[in-house]
């Protein structure tokens, strides 16, 4: 039986590492095309220090240029601390605030300049803010399949932090293969183990891969019951800490092709998808 699949398109993740600044109007035009495709959610920008991510310093201005009048897509913005959450929550158009919570202490310190315990305190404060502002907090469990630093990792650690998030009332969790090292066997075992913790929490996967490993990872996730996938057109973006330069986001067009082959009715406007893919060259120079 076909499942109800929800795809989050991630232009923010795709763009954030670009060194040459993409003009605001170009960003907005690209995201407006993506809004017409019919994705469940668009990860469109971030309210993070411009010093940390200069490419996305114009997120609020981009937001003001988006046409949300005829889209079913919800908007997600990434935040890294309480101040960023306050900025994002002030915008009525945004549904989700995404917070990267790393189960690797080293990566948490590098990514948000906090320890894991400090980050968890942030999660609790930000979730309280979301409840008062009618927003949903999505927690990314970063380095969810291991890390390059030698920090402890096992399935029990992942489940421990997932349960702590659930106990705080977090309704959305995305297990993130930050550096693209997840094996299909890990995905097949870990995803179902998480869903057994809570039947209410919505679990998704933010996978990274090389061009020749995406299908085995997506297939493992799909067969394990995953119905929420993150992706980016043409596989742009990813984590700069991945050892392989070819490692990036799962390419949206590949994900869609796989899901359609499994007889899923995704309800997407494939003509607009083609337009967005063509326009992406203006954003990424390819």
pLDDT in tens, 57-113: 999 999 999 999 999 999 999 999 999 999 999 999 999 999 999 999 999 999 899
Residues in the chain: 286
Residue 119 belongs to what H/E stretch? helix 116-133
Spatial distance between the Cα atoms of 229 and 190, rounded to a whole number of angstroms: 15
Spatial distance between the Cα atoms of 157 and 161, rounded to a whole number of angstroms: 6
- Annotate 261-273 with b (16+ C-beta within 10 A) or e (fewer): eeebebebeeebb
pLDDT tens digits along 11-70 = 999 999 899 999 999 999 999 999 999 999 999 999 999 999 999 999 999 999 999 999
Helix (H, G, I), strand (E, B) or coil at 79: strand
pLDDT score, position 239: 64
pLDDT score, position 285: 84
Q: Give the chain's domains with CATH numbers.
A: 6-284 (3.20.20.70)
Helix (H, G, I), strand (E, B) or coil at 203: strand
pLDDT tens digits along 145-195 = 999 999 999 999 999 999 999 999 999 999 999 899 999 999 999 999 999
> Strand 41-47 to strand 74-79: parallel, antiparallel, or no bridges (unpaired)?
parallel
- Where residue 271 falls among pLDDT bands split at 50, 70, 90? very high
pLDDT tens digits along 113-137 = 999 999 999 999 999 999 999 999 9
Mean pLDDT calculated for residue range 194-202: 94
pLDDT tens digits along 5-14 = 999 999 999 9
> In the chain, what are the helix, strand and coil shares in percent, each to the nearest 5?
45, 20, 35
Residue carrying the six token digits 């315990």: 117
pLDDT score, position 242: 53
Taking Cα atoms as reference points, which of 193, 194, 151, 206 lies closest to residue 170? 194
Asked if 133 and 113 touch (Cβ cutoff 8 Å), the reply is: no
pLDDT score, position 3: 72
pTM (predicted TM-score): 0.96
pLDDT score, position 244: 54
pLDDT tens digits along 229-266 = 999 999 998 765 555 565 789 999 999 999 999 999 99
C-alpha torsion 15→20→24→30, nearest 10: -40
Taking Cα atoms as reference points, which of 165, 25, 40, 16 lies closest to residue 103? 165
Task: For residue 39, give both structure tokens.
Answer: 């994705």
pLDDT score, position 238: 72
């Amino acid at each position: 039986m076909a499942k109800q699949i929800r795809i989050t398109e991630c232009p923010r993740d795709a763009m954030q590492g670009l060194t040459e600044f993409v003009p605001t109007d170009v960003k907005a035009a690209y995201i407006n095309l993506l809004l017409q495709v019919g994705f469940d959610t668009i990860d469109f920008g971030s309210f993070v220090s411009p010093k940390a991510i200069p490419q996305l310093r114009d997120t609020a201005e981009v937001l003001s240029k988006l046409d949300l009048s005829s889209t079913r897509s919800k908007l997600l913005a990434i935040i890294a601390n309480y101040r960023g959450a306050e900025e994002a929550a002030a915008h009525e158009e945004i549904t989700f605030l995404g917070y990267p919570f790393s189960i690797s202490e080293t990566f948490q310190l590098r990514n948000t300049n906090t320890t894991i315990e400090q980050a968890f305190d942030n999660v609790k404060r930000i979730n309280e803010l979301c409840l008062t502002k009618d927003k949903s907090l999505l927690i990314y469990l970063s380095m969810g399949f291991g890390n390059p630093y030698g920090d402890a990792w096992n399935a029990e650690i992942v489940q421990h932090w997932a349960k702590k998030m659930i106990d705080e009332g977090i309704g959305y969790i995305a297990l993130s293969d930050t550096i693209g090292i997840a094996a299909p066997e890990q995905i097949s075992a870990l995803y179902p183990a998480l869903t057994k913790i809570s039947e209410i929490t919505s679990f998704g996967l933010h996978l990274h891969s090389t061009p020749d490993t995406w299908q085995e990872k997506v297939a493992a996730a799909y067969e394990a019951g995953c119905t929420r996938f993150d992706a980016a057109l043409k596989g742009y973006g990813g984590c700069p800490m991945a050892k392989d330069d070819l490692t990036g986001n799962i390419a949206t067009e590949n994900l869609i092709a796989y899901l359609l082959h499994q007889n899923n009715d995704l309800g997407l406007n494939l003509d607009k998808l083609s337009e967005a893919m063509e326009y992406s060259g203006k954003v990424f120079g390819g």
